[in-house]
């Protein structure tokens, strides 16, 4: 059964939607076909001794919208319905989740069937042209996504160094699949230094889309959030952040030049190479350095020599 979202749950992003839209405020019906993603298999170690190790799933999931095939994603399958919703949102194919009647996942057919309320599918969108992006669990960008991208420029927001440190300290406790089996990326949605949601998947694109789906159906705004990922801050990750309304991206990895240039254009602050109390902040004129770490011993020695 679909349910209406109480007005108190409607996010600031939904204010721009037309109040005359009869589907605004509704949510799609979802199956609950999440899978256990970690399995044990037999192996031999370097000494030829039999042992069991943990491995993770990598399953194809084809998305169809009103029976029209859109894309096939490779995923762990832990939260497939949210992954589908987040992918559709982050490709700018739908303005709000009420336009979608249902998402039905059938693993026997490796299929996610999306049914829209108006039955028009993806009419008006050019979904034939796709750009394959970098990274494991490769993502895709549709040409129609790029057409709408600059409608999502973000307003400046304050970024506090102390909050970045709290995020880095908290996310260490949430990489369950990685600790057990490796082979995955993790993404976390954070607010006020706390982790609100953490998802692991084959690629950071899927993990990010899954979190986006959760935010979308729950009307969660992004302007006061920080997004953490274990993967590189590439152009697609920056695009998704802007589409989700999240102005700060944090990664233990680096960034690409295209990712940086796009972050400048869209108003996203990048906190790259973030480990422990070290990081590189880019497009960060809005950052408040309120928790400076101790200076390295060499800097302290040089400082003493000048006095």
Q: What is the pLDDT of residues 80-116, one digit of tens each?
A: 999 999 999 998 899 999 999 999 999 999 999 999 9
Q: What is the pLDDT of residues 262-297, one digit of tens each?
A: 899 999 999 999 988 889 999 998 989 988 776 765
- SS3 assignment for 128-153: CCEEECCCCCCCEEEHHHHHHHHHHC
Q: What is the pLDDT of residues 155-169, one digit of tens each?
A: 989 999 999 999 999
34 within 8 A of 78, measured Cβ to Cβ? yes
Domain 159-288 falls under CATH 3.40.140.10: yes
Q: How would residue 50 be classed by pLDDT, with cut points 50, 70 and 90? A: confident
Domain ranges in the chain are 7-13+23-147, 159-288
Residue 275: burial class (beta carbons within 10 Å; 0-12, 13-18, 19+): exposed
Q: How far is CA 278 from CA 158, 232, 253, in A?
A: 19, 16, 12
Confidence (pTM): 0.80
């Amino acid at each position: 059964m679909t349910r209406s979202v109480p007005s108190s749950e409607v996010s600031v992003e939904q204010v721009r939607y037309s109040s005359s839209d009869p589907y605004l405020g509704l949510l799609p019906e979802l199956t609950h076909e999440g899978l256990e993603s970690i399995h044990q298999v037999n192996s031999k170690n370097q000494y030829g001794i039999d042992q069991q190790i943990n491995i993770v799933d990598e399953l194809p999931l084809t998305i169809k919208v009103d029976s029209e095939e859109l894309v096939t994603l490779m995923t762990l399958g832990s939260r497939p319905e949210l992954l589908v919703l987040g992918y559709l949102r982050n490709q700018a194919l739908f303005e709000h989740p009420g336009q979608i009647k249902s998402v039905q996942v059938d693993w026997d057919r490796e299929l996610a069937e999306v049914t829209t309320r108006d039955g028009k599918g993806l009419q008006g969108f050019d979904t034939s042209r796709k750009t394959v992006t970098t990274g494991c669990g490769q993502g895709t960008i549709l040409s129609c996504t790029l057409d709408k991208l600059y409608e999502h420029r973000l307003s400046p927001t304050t970024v506090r160094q102390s909050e970045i440190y709290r995020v880095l300290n908290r996310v260490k406790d949430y990489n369950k699949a990685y600790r057990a089996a490796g082979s995955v990326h993790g993404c976390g949605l954070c607010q006020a230094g706390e982790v609100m949601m953490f998802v692991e998947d084959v690629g950071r694109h899927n993990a990010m889309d899954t979190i986006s789906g959760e935010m979308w159906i729950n009307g969660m705004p992004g302007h006061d959030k920080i997004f953490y990922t274990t993967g590189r801050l590439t152009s697609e990750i920056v695009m998704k952040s802007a589409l989700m309304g999240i102005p700060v991206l944090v990664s233990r990895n680096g960034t690409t030049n295209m990712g940086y240039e796009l972050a400048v254009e869209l108003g996203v602050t990048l906190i790259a190479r973030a480990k422990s109390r070290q990081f590189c902040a880019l497009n960060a004129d809005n950052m408040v350095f309120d928790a400076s770490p101790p200076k390295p011993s060499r800097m302290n020695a040089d400082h003493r020599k000048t006095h």
